[in-house]
Amino acid sequence: MPLDAFEPSLFELSHGEGGREWIPERGGADLASLIPSEHLAPEPAALPVVSEPEAVRHFTKLSRRNFSIESGFYPLGSCTMKYNPKICDSLAGLPGFARLHPEAGADMAQGTLRLMDDISGFLAQISGMDKVTTNPCAGAHGEFCGILMVRAYHEDRGDDRDVVLVPDSAHGTNPATAAMVGYKTVEVKSNSSGCVDLDDLKSKLNDKVAALMLTNPNTLGLFEKEILDIARVVHEAGALLYYDGANLNAIAGVARPGDMGFDVVHINLHKTFSTPHGGGGPGAGPVGVKQRLIPYLPTPLIEKSGEEYTLNYDSPKSIGQLSTFYGNVGIVLRAYVYMRMHGKEGIRRNSEHAVLNARYLKHLLKDHIPPEIDAPGMHEFVLTMKDKSRFGEFNAMGLAKNLIDRGFHAPTVYFPLIVKEALMMEPTETESKRTLEEFAATVVDILNEAARDPEKAMHAPYTTPVKRLDEVSAARNPVLVHPCCE
């Protein structure tokens, strides 16, 4: 069957009428004699009836439609879609780690606890923090952890603060996290250089502000050169400075958030230390803090006494336990392997190459699609197709859809929200010069084709099982249940 052909669901492939045939009992065993009747459903589950080859072929066909970093270039800005070395999967899957039961107890998990403690130390060195927890299970979960500690810190001091400041270019998780913790959010404007407007920040700082959430480099891929002044005015107002670690891949091993004045930081292991990314998980978002926030770290805390590692749940000022047991250990172990494999110099070199790749790709494209801010950037950059006199009705979404037909994943479109018709690109350090040049040449070719035949270009993609969708209607009226399952 060709790749672009429609693949039926398993219910439609089922040998039973309408995909509703009951699975027969096997082996002659009476389930009621094996399982108490109160634990049995009144009727067998309505599962599809297919042979093993049919099931394997079905899922193999579906897997071929998935786009992954193993199948092609994935230039999503902000998301840092870098290659995951297979050795990390292999070592994290060693039986001593993978088969360790979470209820085994600290005395039977000394090796795993040692590695978790070691990576906490590594991350503390890299981020410039005093202590790190690997408990949170994702970047947004890490944000939640960090802002909960900000709230606990202020409440412990009897300081009534209810506002969190976020830049207008911030990731959407920043205001969402602040709201979940019970804060109001106030937006801080960007200046003409694409960085935080220091005067606007000063005008919004007062004794009600709990924290400023900031990523550096920022979402436009620009380093906040006034970061020391930003930290100073935030602290003078009695607030804390929170580091969104989404863009740490640009500076790891080169500069440390702690040295810039940040008090708390979350680290996206999938973005900086090459663990799996996407699909709703798996994930891990370690959080580091300066000394004054250590009492509020989530439990349990890994502690070492002599040669023994323990899990300490007794921390009176802690924000409590955020995940079952001790977070997503398997993902943290993958990052541990990655760090040990590259070492200090390798991590720094990766950051330098990430910046080099981004600057080179921007150089290849900027004469064809202008950058929003034409200044030396870091690991990512933002182009804009807002000039109608140049691009006509062809827009960022049109370019993204055409790239799908050419075998490339699209870049991030329409983000950050302060840039009209934005194309946000982050090539990461793992892509070759040849790949970047092929991608740039493809973008230029699409632009040329769109100029010749804009109508055709605006209706891409043409090679996918599902063609151009009415995305507005899809968002407003999603169909979440297949007709066969109703």
pLDDT for 4 beyond 90: no
pLDDT for 461 beyond 70: yes
**What integer pLDDT is reported at residue 32 of this predicted model?**
64
Count of helix runs (H) and strand runs (E) in the chain: 18, 12
DSSP state of 293: G
**What integer pLDDT is reported at residue 2 of this predicted model?**
43
Q: Pinpoint the residues of the chain covered by CATH 3.90.1150.10.
A: 345-475
Both tokens assigned to 6: 């429609």
Residue range 362-367: average pLDDT? 98
Banded pLDDT at 16 (limits 50, 70, 90): low
Banded pLDDT at 19 (limits 50, 70, 90): very low
CATH architecture of the domain with range 345-475? Alpha-Beta Complex (3.90)
Q: Which of 78, 114, 20, 457 is nearest to 303 (CA)?
A: 114
For the residues of 54-122, what is the DSSP string, one character each? Answer: HHHHHHHHHHHT---TTTS---BTTT------HHHHHHHTSHHHHT--TTS-GGG-HHHHHHHHHHHHH
Q: Of 123 and 21, which is predicted with more confidence?
A: 123
Residue range 300-318: average pLDDT? 94
**What integer pLDDT is reported at residue 21 of this predicted model?**
41
pLDDT for 14 beyond 50: yes
Q: How far apart are CA 472 and CA 469, in angstroms?
A: 9
pLDDT for 483 beyond 80: no
Banded pLDDT at 67 (limits 50, 70, 90): confident
Banded pLDDT at 37 (limits 50, 70, 90): confident
Residue range 180-190: average pLDDT? 97
Residue range 150-174: average pLDDT? 96
Q: Of the given ranges (40-49, 67-76, 104-113), which has the lowest mean pLDDT?
A: 40-49
**What integer pLDDT is reported at residue 377 of this predicted model?**
95
pLDDT for 23 beyond 50: no
Q: Of 371 and 477, which is predicted with more confidence?
A: 371
429-439 residue pLDDT tens = 999 999 999 99
Residue range 98-105: average pLDDT? 91
Tell me the residue type at 34.
L
pLDDT for 1 beyond 50: no
The CATH number of the structural domain formed by 86-341 is 3.40.640.10
**What integer pLDDT is reported at residue 445 of this predicted model?**
98
Q: Of 77 and 281, which is predicted with more confidence?
A: 77
Q: Pinpoint the residues of the chain covered by CATH 3.40.640.10.
A: 86-341
Banded pLDDT at 199 (limits 50, 70, 90): very high
C-alpha separations of 154 from 157, 159, 162, 201 in Å: 5, 5, 10, 20
Q: Of 223 and 281, which is predicted with more confidence?
A: 223
**Rounded to a whole number, what is the largest CA-CA distance in the chain?**
78
Q: How far apart are CA 178 and CA 186, in angstroms?
A: 10
pLDDT for 57 beyond 50: yes
Residue range 38-53: average pLDDT? 85
